Amino acid sequence: MASKKRPLPIQVGTVIYNEADRLLVWLKFWQPIAERILIIDQGSDDGTQQILKDSGVTWRERLPHGSSDVHWNDLISMTRTDKPFFRMGGIDEFITRANLKRTLKVMEAHPNVMLWWMRRINWVNGIDSCEHPEIKKILGNDWQSVISFGRPYSFTGLMHGWPVIRVPGDKVGYIERDLAWVDHRRTLDGIIEANVSREHMCRTQSSNDQTWFLRVCKELVDGNYTKVDE
């Protein structure tokens, strides 16, 4: 019998609210891969908290709900400083074991780096969003501050705001997409639902960006684009 693969020496975490319908899939993916999973729950009342209790992950409840950005600092505060922390934007983000192994090798070669940025491949209904020429031109390099050691950055709490980097430039690194990446898997219906639910929290520019993104995603799904296998 083949030996069971051991989890990698990493921490993974995110912020969630009422994700009972998707949480089990995300946990099934990450629990065999990560030594430690950290969750901030924003007061879910749909059975999400019972799933968290049964799963054995480390989690805390923080209010209010609606925007994960207000709780990123709380999530980061839960991490241990001796292992890298992979901050996922939600439970629709995944990194394969092969991508993780390549990423860890790069990190081992640069032990002074405390914050690593990675690119995301944004999937919409199984289609790489960069197949849409407008998205490819504007969001081709969708960088996210994904991996950290300690507390090298913090967030202002504004929706879709960039983090404040609190370490010198030589302690920040980048993982190129041809080496490893984050898979951000969404559906058009899910994007529409999420944007409608949080529209009242968005700044004007963020709201305009979301209106644009919804338009081009609908064009992507409705158009004659070739589906790419994930």
Q: Which of 50-64, 75-89, 154-168, 194-208 has the lowest mean pLDDT?
A: 194-208
- pLDDT tens figures, 185-219: 999 999 888 877 777 667 777 778 888 888 999 99
CA pair distance 130, 160, nearest whole angstrom:
20
Higher-scoring residue by pLDDT: 143, 49: 49
**CATH code assigned to 8-222:** 3.90.550.10
- pLDDT tens figures, 81-119: 999 999 999 999 999 999 999 999 999 999 999 999 999
- For the chain, the average pLDDT equals 90
- pLDDT tens figures, 118-150: 999 999 999 999 889 888 888 777 899 999 999
Taking 50 as the threshold, does the pLDDT of residue 3 lie above it? no
3 state DSSP class of 43? coil
Q: Which of 22-26, 162-166, 192-196, 203-207 has the lowest mean pLDDT?
A: 203-207
Residue 226 confidence class, pLDDT cut points 50, 70, 90: low
Which contacts qualify for 51-55: CB closer than 8 Å, 24 or more apart? 51/20, 51/23, 51/24, 51/27, 52/23, 55/27, 55/31
Helix axes 204-222, 188-198, angle to 10 degrees: 160
Domain boundaries, the chain: 8-222
DSSP-assigned letters across all residues of 121-144: EEEETTEEGGGSHHHHHHHSS-EE
CA neighbor of 157 nearest in space, from 48, 44, 39, 76: 76
